[in-house]
Structure 1
Amino acid sequence: MELFAIVIMKVDELYVRSLSAQIERELQLLHIVESEWTIDYEWTESHAFIRLEAMLSEQEAPTIRNQMMPSLAGVLADHIITDKESGILRNLLMKEFKYDAIEDLEAIEGYCKQSLHTETGLEDLPVLNSSFGMKRRKQVLVEQLMLALEESSRLSLDGFLLFRLQDYTDELREVAEYAIDEYLMDRQYQEFISLLQYFVYIQEAKIPVVHLIHKGGHEFVILNDRLELIDANEFDATFKLEVLEKDINFEDMIVSTLITVSPANIYIHTRDPEMTVIKTIRQIFEDRTTVCSYCRTCDIYLGEAKKQDQLSP
């Protein structure tokens, strides 16, 4: 019989107890505790560490090791994703992308989380060809952790994160780049919306009412208070568009027309009030807008609906 030990070093004191408990639960599920494994954790002046040890015969040591390595690696991978990943991302944003304002960091991290906290990651997004979802990230970490544990029975988590995870860090960097692009686009969009809101605010109303009829998809009709097409000679009053490559062009055309007309009130007749362009119009014109899901005008242009008459400001 000989002492067989694995030491996980450089564990944050904040997590050392919970991590030890998770490792013990995993070993219990494998019935490895029956082999008289002990799990302990200690602190030194610089860091905490977890020690797993057992007295094993030369014959049983390889079998026990092969049994426990995937589970141990899985626990450590979950710990990295849950407790360390956000810190790695913030470090990337601060050191490589030079963001230091808390407001910017928190906003960008929010976009990162939308991508990272999914099963498939960003593979469905056109800007990235990535399948770095949660399952994939854990798989990468488990593989690298098992390699590290096969090389040595002493694993420094700090060193592992710093030197053994280049592919993992590269993927997080890709996510950060995507998140920054989304953040900058959203900020520019909000600035543009604020400018339009101000322009609408200072502009006097030219006509009392506009009825914006959303027939579905990207097909809109703009009518006056008498339900007549608004001066089609001055601007394109009817919109019968195919799906455009960039929605922003489509939105600009409708918003530009409404701003040119400058109505005191806009009644939006639609079966899809959550459509992006409709939400944009409501944001720009604010209390001038009323969304109608069913009324007599809706009945004429959109057909019958199951809902009763309902106006939402």
Structure 2
Amino acid sequence: MAAYQISVPGPVTSREAGQMRELLNQQAARLERSGFSCCLEEFDQGTRTVFYIQNRVAGEKSEQGLRHSLGRAVADYYLAVNEPNLIRRIITQDFHYWNPGESREIERYAYHLLDDSEAEEPSHRRRKHWMARQIAKYFCNHRDLAVDGYFQFRMKRYRDILMKLVEHAIDEYLLDQEYREFIDLLRYFVSIQQPKVPLVHVLHIGIRRFRLLDGEGRPLQMKEMDHTVEELMDQVTSHEDLIVSTLLTVAPEQVVLHTRNREENVVCTLMQVFEDRITICNGCSGCRHLKGREDGFVPKG
């Protein structure tokens, strides 16, 4: 019956050894429930902890089950211990983001991308299954595995994936920073601006479709755009920006937003820019006209 050795940096009392021990014990219990069994021992070897795993049941099926179990344990360990450290090193050493606050934010973006099932990068579950299969294949021809060395020398392709992921995360981070700065600028402009009209109703009729009404429910009459607003909105690139620029020009004392989709980007943008000047209607007689009908809107109160 074959025996395998898995080693991790640090003595048996280290956090790394404790995590690997827990994961191997979980897989051993899983094997027991499946009718198989293995013997698990551990010992210090220099500055490393070595886990010695021996199959107690003869047969290829048992060996295959053990190899897959070891693959899952090592994959879980890597995702919990090595991957976060590698992502941090890429952020600081490869892209030179040394500021702890910035690097933590970029790391958060990176994990959001990794865990996004619709993103190009592999999700946590897919990464784990892929790694577990690769490690199980490795154990078909080898009996010893140094976890850190294995991922450093045999998983270079995966490191390239993480490099591209971090680069994508940095792009997202910088775009979001620009957006926040722009929102702060617009918010400041709203705070110092003298109101020109008492109330504006914003009808969010559909995706990227809006209508502005005055307090009496009449179409809002627009004057020429304020020069300061025009300068602020030089970077208008979307319908969201257009509706914001229009409201900045009108400068209402209060805005009532009638919408069926509070999660849409434009709604979030309006709420951030106008803050205490804007409220979302909780339902009025005119809201029934939001689904495709623009005429006959009667605002609440």
Which category describes the TM-score, using the shorter chain as reference length? 0.7 to 0.9
**Which runs of 5 or more structure 2 residues have no equivalent in the other structure?**
10-15, 226-235, 294-298
% same residue:
30
The reply to whether residue 17 of structure 1 matches residue 32 of structure 2 is: no
If the length of structure 1 is used for normalisation, what is the TM-score?
A: 0.79
Maintained 8 Å contact 1:41/1:48: yes
Does the CA-based 8 Å contact 1:144-1:164 persist in structure 2?
no
Any idea what SS the aligned residue of 1:196 has?
helix
Structure 2 residue 141 is matched with structure 1 residue 140: no
Number of aligned residue pairs = 279
CA distance in 1, matches of 2:59, 2:242: 72
**Cα separation, partners in 2 of 1:298 and 1:30, compared to 1, 3 Å:** closer
- Whether contact under 8 Å (2:196, 2:252) holds in the other structure is yes
TM-score (norm 2): 0.82
Is 1:53 the counterpart of 2:54 in the alignment? yes
**Which residues in structure 2 correspond to 1:106-125 (within 5 Å)?**
106-118=104-116, 120=117, 122-123=119-120
The reply on whether 1:152 has 2:123 as its aligned counterpart is no
Cα offset, 1:100, TM superposition: 2.1
* C-alpha contact 1:194 1:284 (8 A) present in aligned 2: yes
Displacement of 1:280 = 0.8
8 Å CA contact 1:70–1:146 kept in 2: the answer is yes
Instruction: Determine which of 151, 171, 175 is the counterpart of 1:161.
Output: 151
CA contact (8 A) 1:20 1:40 kept: no
1:99-124 deviation per Cα after TM superposition (whole angstroms, max 9, x unaligned): 22222222222222223235x4514x
Note the 1:62-101 alignment, pairs <5 A: 64-101=62-99
Higher relative contact order (CA 8 A, sep 6+): 2
Q: After the TM superposition, which residues 1-313 of structure 1 pair with which residues of structure 2 at under 5 Å, given as runs?
A: 4-11=2-9, 12-33=16-37, 37-53=38-54, 60=58, 64-118=62-116, 120=117, 122-123=119-120, 130=121, 132-232=122-222, 234=224, 248-299=237-288
Please state whether the residue corresponding to 2:190 is helix, strand or coil.
helix
* Partner Cα distance (1:211, 1:75) in 2: 58
Per the alignment, do residues 44 and 121 of structure 1 end up closer, same or farther by CA in structure 2, a change over 3 Å counting? Answer: farther
CA gap of 1:52–1:121, structure 2 versus 1, over 3 A, is farther
Measured in 2, the distance between the counterparts of 1:213 and 1:44 equals: 70
Secondary structure at the aligned position of 1:293 is classed as: coil
CA deviations 1:280-302 (Å, max 9, x no partner) are 11111111111113224435666
Q: CA RMSD in A?
A: 2.7
Cα pair distance change 1:284/1:233, threshold 3 Å: closer
